[in-house]
Amino acid sequence: MTACAHGDEVGGIATIQEVFKKIKTTLKKGSLYAFPLMNPTGFETTSRQILMSQEDLNRSFPGDQNGSLAERIADKIFGYIESTGPELVLDLHNDWSKSIPYTLIDPDPGQEHREAYEKAISYAASTGFLNILETEEYGYNNTLTYSLLRKNIPALALELGESYVVNEINIGYGIGSIWNILGGLGMVDTMDGTFEYDLPEAVKGRVLSYSDRPFCSYSGVIRFLVKPGDMVKKGQKLARIHNAFGKHLESLTALNDGIVLGHTDHSVAFPGAKIIVFGIV
């Protein structure tokens, strides 16, 4: 398990801590390893990037021992993960404050890596979360999980709700999801039952595509009409944008049927801003 590649995403640290507390007396077989704090300078400054170089660690894998600072850190982490010969790697992340948890699956890395990819998809189905397929436009090539898949190591990203603070409810979701996987591997008993996040029937058991469209076209104040977890229909109004005096500037409408994964933490709109993200049915 890995966490805090982005320094403001602290929930994964606490999730790993709690999983290790729980597993001390319950591990039946195998080994569990973790990097709970991959970006300590980002954590100390509440920054997504590495402080000194302002690089995104999760866009620097598999790394380069002679590269930039982020690439050198990534190389050390990646090399150690490879040395353990893992059955699965779970990379823990956080999203906007009102986001629902979900499992993010990378695009297919190709026939050469098909076995690892099919294993990853199988594990994704057991997380108890909504499964979301990353799309090519969002820059996945140098993420940890995609780089691992290209080394034939199954890997998934778990998005566990809000950044910046430790939300105990989301920690519980993370523990439940990870316990599902450990139980499926026979590493622990699942006597407490299988964890499943409460989802609308229309999306249960499905793999949806990720989308952050439509974008805003005006600057103003956002008035949301939907919330995370809501199902939406194509053409449905999602939000209104008003200027400071209350004049209505535009309404944003859904481009597809889907479920709202989360919306931005602030109320300021500007042209080209993404304000809501979806799983597209």
144-179 pLDDT tens trace? 999 999 999 999 999 999 999 999 999 999 999 999
Domains (range + CATH), the chain = 2-184 (3.40.630.10), 208-280 (2.40.50.100)
Residue 50: what residue type?
A: I
Residue 127 CA to its chain's centroid (Å): 13
Alpha carbons 146 and 134: distance in angstroms, whole number? 10
Alpha carbons 77 and 84: distance in angstroms, whole number? 11
CA distances from 260 to 86, 103, 227 (A): 33, 14, 7
Alpha carbons 39 and 2: distance in angstroms, whole number? 11
Give mean pLDDT, residues 270-281: 95
Predicted model pTM = 0.95
Alpha carbons 97 and 165: distance in angstroms, whole number? 9
**Residue 140 binned pLDDT confidence (cut-offs 50, 70, 90):** confident
Give mean pLDDT, residues 121-135: 96
Q: Which of 133, 204, 207, 158 is nearest to 19 (CA)?
A: 158
User: 201-235 pLDDT, tens per residue?
Assistant: 999 999 999 999 999 999 999 999 999 999 999 99
Give mean pLDDT, residues 69-94: 98
Q: Which of 244, 243, 235, 238 is nearest to 218 (CA)?
A: 243
Place of tokens 């407490």: 192
Give mean pLDDT, residues 107-113: 95
Three-class DSSP category at 231: strand
Is pLDDT at 136 greater than 90 in this prediction? no
Alpha carbons 103 and 190: distance in angstroms, whole number? 20
Is pLDDT at 137 greater than 80 in this prediction? no
Residue 129: what residue type?
A: F
Place of tokens 């939300």: 167
Rg for the chain (alpha carbons), in Å? 19
| Helices 168-184 & 11-23 angle (0-180, nearest 10) | 50
- Contact of 124 with 181, CB cutoff 8 Å: no
